[in-house]
Structure 1
Amino acid sequence: MHTKHIADFCTIAGTQKQPYKMQHVLDNPAWNALLSGNSNLAMGTDKVKYFDPEVSPFVGFRENTAENFQQLYEVAQVGRPFGFISPVEAEIPAPWQQIVYIECLQMVHDGRDTGLSSVSLTPLTEKHIPRMLSLTKLTNPGPFAERTIEFGHYHGVMDGDKLVAMAGQRMHVFNYAEVSAVCTHPDYLGRGYAKQVLQFQTQRILAAGDTPFLHVRSDNHRAIHVYQSLGFATRKTIHFYIIKK
Protein backbone atom coordinates (compact mmCIF):
# COMPACT_ATOMS: atom_id res chain seq x y z
CA MET A 1 0.00 0.00 0.00
CA HIS A 2 1.23 3.49 -0.74
CA THR A 3 2.36 5.45 2.32
CA LYS A 4 2.72 8.92 0.86
CA HIS A 5 0.58 11.47 2.67
CA ILE A 6 0.53 15.10 3.75
CA ALA A 7 0.00 16.06 7.39
CA ASP A 8 -2.18 19.01 8.28
CA PHE A 9 -3.72 20.56 11.37
CA CYS A 10 -7.25 21.75 11.95
CA THR A 11 -9.70 22.56 14.69
CA ILE A 12 -13.10 20.89 14.40
CA ALA A 13 -15.52 23.70 15.01
CA GLY A 14 -17.00 23.69 18.48
CA THR A 15 -15.88 20.22 19.56
CA GLN A 16 -12.19 20.05 20.41
CA LYS A 17 -10.41 21.78 23.28
CA GLN A 18 -7.15 21.08 21.45
CA PRO A 19 -6.59 21.19 17.67
CA TYR A 20 -7.20 17.85 15.98
CA LYS A 21 -4.04 16.75 14.20
CA MET A 22 -4.72 15.59 10.66
CA GLN A 23 -2.29 12.69 10.39
CA HIS A 24 -3.29 11.42 6.95
CA VAL A 25 -4.72 12.88 3.75
CA LEU A 26 -7.83 10.70 4.17
CA ASP A 27 -8.65 12.48 7.45
CA ASN A 28 -9.71 15.44 5.27
CA PRO A 29 -10.56 13.72 1.97
CA ALA A 30 -12.66 16.40 0.26
CA TRP A 31 -10.13 19.19 0.84
CA ASN A 32 -7.20 17.05 -0.26
CA ALA A 33 -9.07 15.76 -3.33
CA LEU A 34 -9.91 19.31 -4.38
CA LEU A 35 -6.26 20.19 -3.84
CA SER A 36 -4.88 17.27 -5.84
CA GLY A 37 -6.60 14.70 -8.06
CA ASN A 38 -9.87 16.64 -8.43
CA SER A 39 -8.33 20.13 -8.65
CA ASN A 40 -9.80 20.48 -12.15
CA LEU A 41 -13.27 20.43 -10.56
CA ALA A 42 -12.43 22.76 -7.65
CA MET A 43 -14.16 26.03 -6.88
CA GLY A 44 -13.53 28.38 -3.95
CA THR A 45 -10.49 29.89 -2.22
CA ASP A 46 -7.22 28.90 -0.60
CA LYS A 47 -9.15 28.13 2.61
CA VAL A 48 -12.50 26.78 1.37
CA LYS A 49 -12.92 24.60 -1.71
CA TYR A 50 -16.00 22.85 -3.09
CA PHE A 51 -17.38 21.16 -6.16
CA ASP A 52 -20.00 22.52 -8.53
CA PRO A 53 -23.33 21.26 -7.12
CA GLU A 54 -24.05 19.40 -10.40
CA VAL A 55 -20.87 17.38 -9.79
CA SER A 56 -20.90 16.80 -6.03
CA PRO A 57 -22.12 18.48 -2.83
CA PHE A 58 -18.82 18.07 -0.97
CA VAL A 59 -16.90 20.95 0.54
CA GLY A 60 -13.44 20.89 2.10
CA PHE A 61 -11.80 23.30 4.49
CA ARG A 62 -8.08 23.86 4.94
CA GLU A 63 -8.98 24.11 8.62
CA ASN A 64 -12.42 23.18 9.95
CA THR A 65 -12.93 26.44 11.83
CA ALA A 66 -16.01 28.57 12.44
CA GLU A 67 -14.34 31.30 10.39
CA ASN A 68 -14.13 29.09 7.32
CA PHE A 69 -17.70 27.85 7.80
CA GLN A 70 -18.71 31.52 7.79
CA GLN A 71 -16.69 32.19 4.64
CA LEU A 72 -18.60 29.41 2.89
CA TYR A 73 -21.91 30.74 4.23
CA GLU A 74 -21.27 34.16 2.71
CA VAL A 75 -20.95 32.75 -0.83
CA ALA A 76 -23.44 29.87 -0.60
CA GLN A 77 -26.81 29.99 -2.30
CA VAL A 78 -29.82 29.70 0.02
CA GLY A 79 -30.99 26.10 0.21
CA ARG A 80 -27.95 24.56 -1.46
CA PRO A 81 -26.77 21.47 0.46
CA PHE A 82 -23.10 20.86 1.18
CA GLY A 83 -21.48 17.64 2.34
CA PHE A 84 -18.92 18.15 5.09
CA ILE A 85 -16.63 15.29 6.16
CA SER A 86 -14.98 15.21 9.58
CA PRO A 87 -12.57 12.70 11.18
CA VAL A 88 -14.23 13.36 14.57
CA GLU A 89 -17.78 14.20 15.57
CA ALA A 90 -18.40 17.91 15.00
CA GLU A 91 -20.84 20.59 15.99
CA ILE A 92 -21.98 22.54 12.93
CA PRO A 93 -21.75 26.24 13.78
CA ALA A 94 -24.68 28.64 13.38
CA PRO A 95 -26.18 29.91 11.17
CA TRP A 96 -25.78 26.65 9.21
CA GLN A 97 -28.60 24.11 9.40
CA GLN A 98 -27.63 20.46 9.75
CA ILE A 99 -30.09 18.28 7.83
CA VAL A 100 -28.41 14.84 7.79
CA TYR A 101 -25.71 13.09 9.81
CA ILE A 102 -24.23 9.76 8.71
CA GLU A 103 -21.59 7.73 10.55
CA CYS A 104 -19.43 5.85 8.08
CA LEU A 105 -16.47 3.53 7.98
CA GLN A 106 -13.58 4.63 5.82
CA MET A 107 -12.10 1.47 4.32
CA VAL A 108 -8.77 1.19 2.50
CA HIS A 109 -7.69 -1.66 0.23
CA ASP A 110 -4.73 -3.83 1.20
CA GLY A 111 -3.37 -4.16 -2.33
CA ARG A 112 -4.21 -7.82 -2.90
CA ASP A 113 -5.13 -9.10 -6.37
CA THR A 114 -8.80 -10.06 -6.22
CA GLY A 115 -9.01 -11.18 -9.83
CA LEU A 116 -10.85 -9.77 -12.82
CA SER A 117 -14.57 -9.18 -13.08
CA SER A 118 -16.33 -12.03 -14.86
CA VAL A 119 -19.23 -9.96 -16.19
CA SER A 120 -19.19 -7.73 -19.25
CA LEU A 121 -18.95 -4.09 -18.16
CA THR A 122 -19.86 -1.10 -20.30
CA PRO A 123 -17.98 2.21 -20.00
CA LEU A 124 -20.64 4.78 -19.09
CA THR A 125 -20.75 8.05 -21.00
CA GLU A 126 -22.95 11.13 -21.20
CA LYS A 127 -25.60 9.20 -23.11
CA HIS A 128 -26.03 6.97 -20.04
CA ILE A 129 -26.58 9.85 -17.58
CA PRO A 130 -30.42 9.56 -17.49
CA ARG A 131 -30.13 5.84 -16.71
CA MET A 132 -27.42 6.51 -14.10
CA LEU A 133 -29.60 9.12 -12.42
CA SER A 134 -32.58 6.76 -12.47
CA LEU A 135 -30.57 3.91 -10.91
CA THR A 136 -29.02 6.06 -8.17
CA LYS A 137 -32.37 7.62 -7.34
CA LEU A 138 -33.80 4.13 -6.91
CA THR A 139 -30.91 2.70 -4.88
CA ASN A 140 -29.53 5.79 -3.08
CA PRO A 141 -25.81 4.88 -2.97
CA GLY A 142 -24.93 8.48 -2.12
CA PRO A 143 -25.02 11.89 -3.80
CA PHE A 144 -25.23 11.61 -7.58
CA ALA A 145 -26.01 14.50 -9.93
CA GLU A 146 -26.03 15.46 -13.62
CA ARG A 147 -22.26 15.95 -13.81
CA THR A 148 -21.04 13.41 -11.24
CA ILE A 149 -19.84 11.34 -14.19
CA GLU A 150 -17.05 13.93 -14.60
CA PHE A 151 -15.20 12.22 -11.75
CA GLY A 152 -14.63 9.53 -14.36
CA HIS A 153 -14.20 5.78 -14.73
CA TYR A 154 -17.87 4.79 -14.40
CA HIS A 155 -18.68 1.31 -15.68
CA GLY A 156 -21.94 -0.61 -15.52
CA VAL A 157 -23.75 -3.84 -16.23
CA MET A 158 -26.36 -3.52 -18.98
CA ASP A 159 -29.38 -5.73 -19.65
CA GLY A 160 -30.21 -4.61 -23.15
CA ASP A 161 -30.71 -0.85 -22.84
CA LYS A 162 -31.27 -1.06 -19.07
CA LEU A 163 -28.50 -0.13 -16.62
CA VAL A 164 -28.76 -2.64 -13.78
CA ALA A 165 -25.54 -2.11 -11.79
CA MET A 166 -22.62 0.30 -11.75
CA ALA A 167 -19.73 1.81 -9.84
CA GLY A 168 -17.23 4.58 -10.47
CA GLN A 169 -14.63 6.80 -8.90
CA ARG A 170 -15.29 9.90 -6.82
CA MET A 171 -12.62 11.66 -4.74
CA HIS A 172 -9.03 11.29 -5.97
CA VAL A 173 -6.91 12.16 -2.96
CA PHE A 174 -3.29 12.28 -4.10
CA ASN A 175 -2.51 8.56 -4.59
CA TYR A 176 -5.81 7.32 -3.11
CA ALA A 177 -8.88 6.85 -5.34
CA GLU A 178 -12.38 6.45 -3.90
CA VAL A 179 -14.71 3.80 -5.28
CA SER A 180 -18.23 5.22 -5.23
CA ALA A 181 -21.83 4.83 -6.45
CA VAL A 182 -21.75 1.04 -6.10
CA CYS A 183 -25.36 0.06 -6.73
CA THR A 184 -27.59 -2.64 -8.21
CA HIS A 185 -31.18 -2.44 -9.41
CA PRO A 186 -33.48 -4.22 -6.89
CA ASP A 187 -34.72 -6.60 -9.60
CA TYR A 188 -31.15 -7.83 -10.18
CA LEU A 189 -29.97 -8.45 -6.63
CA GLY A 190 -28.36 -11.77 -5.78
CA ARG A 191 -26.39 -12.07 -9.01
CA GLY A 192 -23.12 -10.73 -7.62
CA TYR A 193 -23.13 -7.60 -9.77
CA ALA A 194 -22.13 -5.20 -6.96
CA LYS A 195 -19.14 -7.37 -6.12
CA GLN A 196 -18.19 -7.58 -9.79
CA VAL A 197 -18.24 -3.84 -10.45
CA LEU A 198 -16.37 -3.22 -7.20
CA GLN A 199 -13.79 -5.82 -8.17
CA PHE A 200 -13.32 -4.12 -11.54
CA GLN A 201 -12.85 -0.68 -9.98
CA THR A 202 -10.42 -2.01 -7.39
CA GLN A 203 -8.20 -3.67 -9.97
CA ARG A 204 -8.38 -0.63 -12.27
CA ILE A 205 -7.22 1.69 -9.48
CA LEU A 206 -4.41 -0.66 -8.43
CA ALA A 207 -3.25 -0.94 -12.04
CA ALA A 208 -3.04 2.87 -12.18
CA GLY A 209 -0.67 2.81 -9.20
CA ASP A 210 -3.19 4.18 -6.70
CA THR A 211 -4.76 2.74 -3.54
CA PRO A 212 -8.54 2.17 -3.55
CA PHE A 213 -10.64 3.38 -0.64
CA LEU A 214 -14.34 3.81 0.01
CA HIS A 215 -16.92 4.96 2.53
CA VAL A 216 -19.81 2.84 3.77
CA ARG A 217 -22.47 3.43 6.41
CA SER A 218 -21.32 1.84 9.64
CA ASP A 219 -24.64 -0.05 9.95
CA ASN A 220 -24.48 -1.53 6.41
CA HIS A 221 -23.09 -4.86 7.58
CA ARG A 222 -23.84 -6.73 4.35
CA ALA A 223 -21.83 -4.27 2.25
CA ILE A 224 -19.01 -4.17 4.79
CA HIS A 225 -18.71 -7.96 4.58
CA VAL A 226 -18.45 -7.80 0.78
CA TYR A 227 -15.80 -5.08 0.95
CA GLN A 228 -13.79 -7.06 3.48
CA SER A 229 -13.87 -10.11 1.22
CA LEU A 230 -12.26 -8.01 -1.52
CA GLY A 231 -9.41 -6.74 0.63
CA PHE A 232 -10.82 -3.58 2.19
CA ALA A 233 -10.18 -2.96 5.89
CA THR A 234 -11.54 -0.22 8.13
CA ARG A 235 -9.10 2.61 8.59
CA LYS A 236 -11.31 4.67 10.86
CA THR A 237 -14.84 5.88 11.57
CA ILE A 238 -15.57 9.10 9.73
CA HIS A 239 -18.49 11.50 9.96
CA PHE A 240 -20.60 12.95 7.14
CA TYR A 241 -22.80 16.01 7.63
CA ILE A 242 -25.21 17.47 5.08
CA ILE A 243 -25.69 21.15 5.85
CA LYS A 244 -27.48 24.00 4.12
CA LYS A 245 -27.87 27.75 4.32
Structure 2
Amino acid sequence: MTHILDNPVWNALNTANKELGKGNDQVKYYCPNISPFAGFRENRQENLIALHGFLGKESESFALVSENKMDISEPWKVNHIIPLFQMVFDDAIVPKEIKETITDLTEEYIPQMIELAKLTNPGPFEERTIDFQHYQGIFYENRLVAIAGQRMHVPPYAEISAVCTHPDFRGRGYAIQLMASQIKRIIGNGEIPFLHVAVDNVGAIKIYEALGFRKRKEMYVYVISKT
Protein backbone atom coordinates (compact mmCIF):
# COMPACT_ATOMS: atom_id res chain seq x y z
CA MET A 1 0.00 0.00 0.00
CA THR A 2 1.32 3.43 -0.94
CA HIS A 3 2.28 5.66 1.99
CA ILE A 4 1.77 9.43 1.80
CA LEU A 5 5.49 9.97 2.45
CA ASP A 6 6.48 7.84 -0.54
CA ASN A 7 5.79 10.89 -2.74
CA PRO A 8 6.34 13.77 -0.31
CA VAL A 9 6.74 16.71 -2.71
CA TRP A 10 3.63 15.92 -4.74
CA ASN A 11 1.53 15.26 -1.64
CA ALA A 12 2.77 18.40 0.14
CA LEU A 13 1.95 20.56 -2.88
CA ASN A 14 -1.54 19.11 -3.01
CA THR A 15 -2.23 19.66 0.69
CA ALA A 16 -0.63 21.97 3.25
CA ASN A 17 1.93 23.54 0.87
CA LYS A 18 -0.60 24.14 -1.89
CA GLU A 19 -0.28 27.93 -1.71
CA LEU A 20 3.50 27.74 -2.19
CA GLY A 21 3.46 25.96 -5.54
CA LYS A 22 2.40 25.97 -9.17
CA GLY A 23 1.70 23.40 -11.89
CA ASN A 24 -1.17 21.25 -13.07
CA ASP A 25 -2.97 18.02 -12.19
CA GLN A 26 0.08 15.89 -13.06
CA VAL A 27 3.09 18.09 -12.28
CA LYS A 28 3.62 20.55 -9.45
CA TYR A 29 6.60 22.54 -8.25
CA TYR A 30 7.41 25.03 -5.52
CA CYS A 31 7.87 28.64 -6.54
CA PRO A 32 11.62 28.66 -7.35
CA ASN A 33 12.41 31.47 -4.93
CA ILE A 34 11.04 29.21 -2.16
CA SER A 35 12.42 25.79 -3.09
CA PRO A 36 13.68 23.95 -6.21
CA PHE A 37 11.63 20.79 -5.58
CA ALA A 38 9.08 19.43 -8.04
CA GLY A 39 6.77 16.44 -7.82
CA PHE A 40 4.74 14.21 -10.12
CA ARG A 41 1.50 12.35 -9.65
CA GLU A 42 3.41 9.49 -11.31
CA ASN A 43 7.03 9.19 -12.40
CA ARG A 44 6.36 9.05 -16.15
CA GLN A 45 8.29 10.41 -19.12
CA GLU A 46 5.40 12.63 -20.21
CA ASN A 47 5.49 14.34 -16.82
CA LEU A 48 9.23 14.97 -17.16
CA ILE A 49 8.52 16.56 -20.54
CA ALA A 50 5.69 18.63 -19.04
CA LEU A 51 8.01 19.84 -16.27
CA HIS A 52 10.52 20.86 -18.93
CA GLY A 53 7.82 23.11 -20.34
CA PHE A 54 8.03 25.25 -17.22
CA LEU A 55 11.73 25.97 -17.83
CA GLY A 56 12.70 29.43 -18.88
CA LYS A 57 9.68 30.92 -17.19
CA GLU A 58 11.04 30.77 -13.67
CA SER A 59 13.72 28.13 -13.25
CA GLU A 60 16.49 26.32 -15.11
CA SER A 61 16.66 23.27 -12.86
CA PHE A 62 14.62 21.22 -10.41
CA ALA A 63 15.08 18.60 -7.70
CA LEU A 64 12.92 15.47 -7.61
CA VAL A 65 12.39 13.14 -4.64
CA SER A 66 11.58 9.53 -5.48
CA GLU A 67 11.25 6.28 -3.55
CA ASN A 68 12.60 4.44 -6.62
CA LYS A 69 15.46 5.01 -9.02
CA MET A 70 14.31 7.01 -12.03
CA ASP A 71 15.18 6.75 -15.71
CA ILE A 72 15.77 10.36 -16.73
CA SER A 73 16.78 11.22 -20.28
CA GLU A 74 16.22 13.98 -22.86
CA PRO A 75 15.20 16.76 -22.49
CA TRP A 76 16.92 16.55 -19.09
CA LYS A 77 20.39 15.89 -17.80
CA VAL A 78 21.04 14.57 -14.30
CA ASN A 79 23.51 16.71 -12.35
CA HIS A 80 23.40 14.80 -9.07
CA ILE A 81 21.76 11.73 -7.55
CA ILE A 82 21.68 11.87 -3.76
CA PRO A 83 20.59 8.77 -1.80
CA LEU A 84 18.67 9.75 1.33
CA PHE A 85 17.18 8.17 4.37
CA GLN A 86 13.68 9.33 5.16
CA MET A 87 13.37 9.29 8.95
CA VAL A 88 10.20 9.58 11.05
CA PHE A 89 9.99 10.55 14.71
CA ASP A 90 9.00 7.84 17.17
CA ASP A 91 6.24 9.44 19.25
CA ALA A 92 7.17 7.25 22.22
CA ILE A 93 10.29 9.40 22.70
CA VAL A 94 10.12 12.48 24.94
CA PRO A 95 11.91 15.46 23.32
CA LYS A 96 15.01 16.72 25.11
CA GLU A 97 14.77 19.68 27.45
CA ILE A 98 15.40 23.02 25.76
CA LYS A 99 17.97 25.16 27.57
CA GLU A 100 19.08 27.65 24.92
CA THR A 101 17.17 30.80 23.97
CA ILE A 102 15.30 29.96 20.77
CA THR A 103 14.25 32.89 18.56
CA ASP A 104 11.49 32.78 15.95
CA LEU A 105 13.05 34.04 12.72
CA THR A 106 11.19 36.75 10.83
CA GLU A 107 11.90 38.45 7.50
CA GLU A 108 14.47 40.82 8.99
CA TYR A 109 16.75 37.81 9.51
CA ILE A 110 16.59 36.52 5.91
CA PRO A 111 20.06 37.87 4.91
CA GLN A 112 21.68 36.16 7.90
CA MET A 113 19.76 32.94 7.25
CA ILE A 114 20.88 32.83 3.61
CA GLU A 115 24.48 33.62 4.59
CA LEU A 116 24.54 30.78 7.14
CA ALA A 117 22.90 28.34 4.74
CA LYS A 118 25.45 29.15 2.00
CA LEU A 119 28.28 28.57 4.46
CA THR A 120 26.98 25.26 5.83
CA ASN A 121 24.97 23.85 2.88
CA PRO A 122 22.14 22.08 4.74
CA GLY A 123 20.23 21.80 1.45
CA PRO A 124 18.49 24.25 -0.87
CA PHE A 125 17.80 27.58 0.80
CA GLU A 126 16.35 30.37 -1.29
CA GLU A 127 15.32 33.99 -0.83
CA ARG A 128 11.77 33.02 0.21
CA THR A 129 12.43 29.65 1.87
CA ILE A 130 11.23 31.35 5.04
CA ASP A 131 7.71 31.14 3.57
CA PHE A 132 7.64 27.52 4.72
CA GLN A 133 7.39 29.16 8.17
CA HIS A 134 8.39 28.03 11.66
CA TYR A 135 12.07 28.90 11.23
CA GLN A 136 13.93 29.33 14.49
CA GLY A 137 17.48 30.25 15.39
CA ILE A 138 20.06 30.63 18.11
CA PHE A 139 22.05 33.86 18.37
CA TYR A 140 25.44 34.54 19.90
CA GLU A 141 26.07 38.23 20.58
CA ASN A 142 23.43 39.25 18.01
CA ARG A 143 24.91 36.90 15.40
CA LEU A 144 22.77 34.10 13.98
CA VAL A 145 24.80 30.92 14.50
CA ALA A 146 22.25 28.08 14.10
CA ILE A 147 18.91 27.57 12.39
CA ALA A 148 16.24 24.94 11.79
CA GLY A 149 12.80 25.09 10.25
CA GLN A 150 10.10 23.33 8.29
CA ARG A 151 9.86 22.42 4.62
CA MET A 152 7.43 19.86 3.21
CA HIS A 153 4.15 19.70 5.13
CA VAL A 154 2.29 16.49 4.35
CA PRO A 155 -0.44 16.17 7.01
CA PRO A 156 -0.14 14.55 9.45
CA TYR A 157 3.62 14.82 8.81
CA ALA A 158 5.79 17.94 8.96
CA GLU A 159 9.38 17.92 7.73
CA ILE A 160 12.19 19.44 9.78
CA SER A 161 14.73 21.01 7.43
CA ALA A 162 17.69 23.40 7.03
CA VAL A 163 19.27 22.30 10.29
CA CYS A 164 22.69 23.93 10.40
CA THR A 165 25.25 25.48 12.73
CA HIS A 166 28.09 27.88 11.98
CA PRO A 167 31.40 25.93 12.01
CA ASP A 168 32.76 28.12 14.80
CA PHE A 169 29.88 27.12 17.08
CA ARG A 170 29.59 23.39 16.49
CA GLY A 171 29.83 21.01 19.43
CA ARG A 172 27.66 23.18 21.68
CA GLY A 173 24.45 21.24 21.06
CA TYR A 174 22.69 24.06 19.23
CA ALA A 175 21.31 21.82 16.47
CA ILE A 176 19.94 19.39 19.04
CA GLN A 177 18.23 22.23 20.90
CA LEU A 178 16.64 23.55 17.72
CA MET A 179 15.58 20.05 16.70
CA ALA A 180 13.96 19.54 20.10
CA SER A 181 12.08 22.82 19.69
CA GLN A 182 10.83 21.82 16.25
CA ILE A 183 9.78 18.38 17.49
CA LYS A 184 7.79 19.90 20.34
CA ARG A 185 6.14 22.41 18.02
CA ILE A 186 5.08 19.74 15.53
CA ILE A 187 3.85 17.33 18.19
CA GLY A 188 2.01 20.21 19.84
CA ASN A 189 0.10 20.65 16.57
CA GLY A 190 -0.93 17.01 16.68
CA GLU A 191 1.44 16.06 13.84
CA ILE A 192 4.48 13.82 13.33
CA PRO A 193 8.00 15.11 12.57
CA PHE A 194 10.00 13.63 9.72
CA LEU A 195 13.17 14.55 7.86
CA HIS A 196 15.54 13.57 5.07
CA VAL A 197 19.28 13.03 5.48
CA ALA A 198 21.99 11.90 3.06
CA VAL A 199 22.85 8.24 3.65
CA ASP A 200 26.54 9.08 4.04
CA ASN A 201 25.94 11.75 6.70
CA VAL A 202 26.69 9.31 9.49
CA GLY A 203 27.14 11.96 12.18
CA ALA A 204 23.77 13.59 11.54
CA ILE A 205 22.02 10.21 11.39
CA LYS A 206 23.38 9.30 14.83
CA ILE A 207 22.11 12.60 16.23
CA TYR A 208 18.68 12.13 14.69
CA GLU A 209 18.45 8.58 16.01
CA ALA A 210 19.40 9.80 19.50
CA LEU A 211 16.60 12.35 19.23
CA GLY A 212 14.08 9.62 18.45
CA PHE A 213 13.99 9.43 14.64
CA ARG A 214 13.90 6.05 12.93
CA LYS A 215 14.77 5.22 9.32
CA ARG A 216 11.62 4.64 7.35
CA LYS A 217 12.83 4.25 3.78
CA GLU A 218 15.72 4.99 1.44
CA MET A 219 14.83 7.69 -1.07
CA TYR A 220 16.62 9.47 -3.91
CA VAL A 221 16.96 13.11 -4.87
CA TYR A 222 17.61 13.84 -8.54
CA VAL A 223 18.94 17.29 -9.34
CA ILE A 224 18.14 17.85 -13.01
CA SER A 225 18.57 20.64 -15.54
CA LYS A 226 17.79 21.11 -19.20
CA THR A 227 20.16 19.61 -21.76
Identify the TM-score tier after normalising by the shorter chain: over 0.9
Letter in 1 for 2:149: G
* 1:90 aligned counterpart, secondary structure: coil
**1:125 and 2:97 aligned:** no
1:149 alignment partner, one of 124, 127, 130 = 130
Structure 1 contact 98–243 (Cα < 8 Å) conserved: yes
Letter of the 2:71 counterpart = E
Moved over 4 A (4+): none
The match for 1:189 among 170, 173, 181 is: 170
Structure 2 CA distance for aligned equivalents of residues 49 and 195 of structure 1: 33
1:55-94 aligned within 5 A = 55-77=34-56, 80-94=60-74
Identity %: 50
CA displacement at 1:89 relative to structure 2: 1.3
CA distance in 2, matches of 1:74, 1:115: 46
- Quote the residue 1:14 is aligned against: none
Query: 2:195 is matched by which residue type in structure 1?
Result: L
Output the CA distance in 2 between the equivalents of 1:187 and 1:83. 30
Q: SS at the partner of 2:171?
A: coil
Find the aligned partners of 2:20 and 2:121 in 1 and give their Cα distance. 23
Q: CA deviation at 1:116?
A: 3.2
Question: Any conservation in 2 of the 1:116–1:203 contact (CA below 8 Å)?
Answer: no
Q: Secondary structure at the match of 1:36?
A: coil
Amino acid at match of 1:208: N
Query: With structure 2 as the length reference, what TM-score do the two structures score?
Result: 0.96
Q: Which amino acid letter does the alignment assign opposite residue 75 of structure 1? A: F
Aligned residues: 224
Secondary structure of 1:131 counterpart: helix
Could you list the runs of 5+ residues in structure 2 that have no partner in the other structure? none
State the distance in 2 between where 1:72 and 1:124 align.
Answer: 33
Find the counterpart in structure 1 of residue 78 from structure 2: 98
Uncovered stretches (5+) of structure 1, i.e. residues with no partner: 1-6, 8-22
Residue 224 of structure 1: SS of its match in structure 2? helix
Question: Residue 180 of structure 1 aligns with which residue?
Answer: 161
Structure 1 residue 117: deviation in Å?
A: 1.5
Q: Does 1:200 align with 2:166?
A: no
CA–CA separation in structure 2 for the residues paired with 1:164 and 1:32:
32
TM-score (norm 1): 0.89
Do the aligned partners of 2:43 and 2:70 also contact (CA within 8 Å) in 1?
no
